[in-house]
Amino acid sequence: MKRFAVIGLGNFGFHAAKALYEDGNEVVAIDLNKGRVQAIDPHCSEAIVLEATDKEALKTLGLETMDGVIVSTGTKISSSILICLYLQEMGVKKILVKALDEDHEKILKRVGATEIIHPERDMALRISRGLSRPNMLDFIPLSDEFDLIQVGPPREFIGKSLKDLNLRAKYNVHIIAIHEIVPENFRLVPPADFVIKDSDILIMLGKSDDIRRIKALE
């Protein structure tokens, strides 16, 4: 069982804490607002009313022993920056912070954030990609250049082996796994002689431009 803390129990923080707890983790939920703390209490291991910008109070919680701390303080930019700095000074190894914009993100990274969260932007990206690429079952942006996607095979891939397709040489993309629907099976790093069926789902890694070239085959 892993241990997490969530600081700031607005919409995002509440649902993050609840989801982590429902997934079998120990979760400490923290907010200055008593009503928010009472609301999360049934959905976490411990709910605490505390001013997280109070460094000494924050130190008493032992957050440095947590597997990760999520900071989601809404529009209070200065609060998130201070809390992030304190967590970094306390030795918290994984600090995930909700950012409001790119400038906020830059500052958070400078004061110790290990991962930046842009929930609205990321969700908008997933929805828009799903609409514009309807057969893409999932999309994970890894960087500005690389994507990891789950996608149905283009028609010309069906009935051919990975060796015949030679996607690495032709398109510079990698099939890192295949989810077979009929029969149900998941193949991690499929062999070169694997023959693609129309019911298969390809988990593909590559540069965004190269993946778009494959998408254009449909």
**pLDDT tens for the chain, residues 1 to 218:** 899 999 999 999 999 999 999 988 999 999 999 999 999 999 999 999 999 999 999 999 999 999 999 999 988 899 999 999 999 999 999 999 999 988 999 999 999 999 998 888 777 766 676 666 555 555 555 555 777 888 888 888 999 999 999 999 999 999 999 988 878 888 989 999 999 998 898 998 888 788 878 877 76
Question: Smallest Cα–Cα separation from 68: which of 17, 129, 120, 144?
Answer: 17
Global pTM exceeds 0.75: no
Domains of the chain: 3-117 (3.40.50.720), 122-215 (3.30.70.1450)
> CA 148, CA 142: separation in Å to the nearest integer?
7
- Name the pairing type of β-strands 26-31 and 46-49: parallel
Give the torsion sign (CA, 55, 61, 63, 68).
negative
Residues in the chain: 218
| Percentages (nearest 5) of helix, strand, coil residues in the chain | 40, 25, 35
- Name the pairing type of β-strands 68-71 and 3-7: parallel
> CA 132, CA 135: separation in Å to the nearest integer?
9
